[in-house]
Structure 1
Amino acid sequence: MSEKIETAVLAGGCFWCTEAVFQRLKGVQSVVSGYTGGNIKNPAYREITTGRTGHAEAISITYDANQISFTELLEVFFATHDPTTLNQQGADRGTQYRSAIFFGNIEQKQLAEEFIQDLEDQKVFDKPIVTEVTPLGPFYKAEDYHQNYYNQNSSQGYCQFVINPKINKLTNKFTAKLKETA
């Protein structure tokens, strides 16, 4: 079966967290941390952290849709962050930490809206979902030191206390979707 390469752009708080989660999924070929959804060109991290640029810390996921679907990516996305907190994930606060799905085509938009509606109908969360579903604009790759952050800094405090619980949740809930490790 040939590859069917697609891209998904998601924001679920700190991109170090979301990058670490999605890197571990079968069918995911690459994950790039970056910024999207804002109003200036080529923003830098120091500008993003102010919350004034309008950008979200996001990840661009390149994946083989024959191995993992957009809907499966959404399942993992909604299971590994809190989509009910506006502009916040844990102690990380500001619009740059908002929950968002930046759709690249109408199919992704429809799938995302249907998925959210299903979660709401099933009352999966105690509070309403505030995840934005918005068109993808320019995506700017973050500085190199943000790329592959968890894998290179897993003993760092933030990684231990914030990212490790997300990895554990992923491992426990989605074992069959994980890449095999050597």
Structure 2
Amino acid sequence: MKKLLYLMMLLPALVSAQQAKPRIETITLGGGCFWCIEAVFDKLDGVIAAESGYSGGSIQNPSYEEVSTGETGFAEVVQIKYDTGKTNLDEIFKVFFTVHDPTQLNRQGADVGSQYRSVIFYANAEQKKTAQEIIQQLNNAKAYTSKIVTTLELFKGFTKAETYHQNYYENNKSKSYCQYVIQPKLEKFEKVFKDRLKKKS
């Protein structure tokens, strides 16, 4: 764990930290239960919105119950909109690979099934190239004991999850899943990226 956190801070930037003309970009990521990923990115400075939802399948308007069967091709994802004047794709990916285990195939901890796969849905060539480069760097540095199995899939659409899934952690902090699964991920994120947290209003 210490090695991974150290490597994340040392990895060279793959894109410039600041853009001459800030703009809004979107990336869609899956790394286990979407409650966890959403809770983390909600706290990263520069992230304008992080919405839980579903990507990767072919049926129209999938429900949580349908996706949970693991037979639809969908993954639980978070669609992240961010301001390139405050953060960038490189940092987004570094956070992503810090707060979940990308070496677990079709699972994160006790959450098992293809709907929990580690996946980056890229929308353009830049996103795909940046993802490939950071994965290669992490594998070459042996940041994990096993190879990264994160899949890179072409983004084809996003269905926003049901209302009760949005801001789940903030609305349910007392629940055991939030305390024992989400909170440790948040604590890891806040430790590594302590200088990149949104300022509390």
TM-score (structure 1 length as normaliser):
0.98
Instruction: Report the counterpart of residue 86 of structure 1 in structure 2.
Output: 105
Counterparts in 2 of 1:98-113, with a 5 A limit?
98-113=117-132
- Residue 184 of structure 2: SS of its match in structure 1? helix
| 1:163 partner SS | helix
Deviation at 1:65, TM superposition (A): 1.1
Q: Determine whether 1:16 maps to 2:35.
A: yes
* 2:24 is equivalent to residue 5 of structure 1: yes
Q: CA deviation at 1:39?
A: 2.2
Q: How does 1:1-150 map to 2 (within 5 A)?
A: 3-150=22-169
Q: CA shift at 1:3, angstroms?
A: 3.5
Distance between the aligned counterparts of 2:117 and 2:129, measured in 1? Answer: 20
SS where residue 86 of structure 1 aligns? coil
Amino acid at match of 2:125: I
Letter matched to residue 29 of structure 1: I
- 1:171 maps to 2:190: yes
The SS at the match of 2:136 is: helix
User: Structure 1, unaligned stretches of length 5 or more?
Assistant: none
Secondary structure of 1:117's match? helix
**Cα distance in 2 for residues equivalent to 1:154 and 1:130:** 31
- C-alpha deviation, 1:2, in angstroms: 5.4
Q: CA deviation at 1:181?
A: 1.5
Runs of 4 or more off by more than 2 Å in structure 1? none
Which of 160, 163, 179 is the aligned partner of 2:179? 160
Number of corresponding residues? 182
For each residue in 1:157-176, what CA deviation from the matched residue of structure 2 results, as whole angstroms up to 9, or x when unmatched?
A: 10000000000001111001
Q: Distance in 2 between matches of 1:8 and 1:155?
A: 30
Distance in 2 (CA, whole Å) between partners of 1:28 and 1:160 is: 23
Q: Matches of 2:131 and 2:118 in 1, distance apart?
A: 12
Tell me how far 1:127 sits from its aligned partner: 0.3
Q: Report sequence identity in percent.
A: 51
Q: Where does structure 2 lack aligned partners over 5 or more consecutive residues?
A: 1-19
Counterpart of 2:86 in structure 1: which amino acid?
Q
CA distance in 2 between partners of 1:7 and 1:36 (Å): 14
CA RMSD between the two structures: 0.9
Distance, in Å, in 1 between the alignment partners of 2:25 and 2:143 is 28
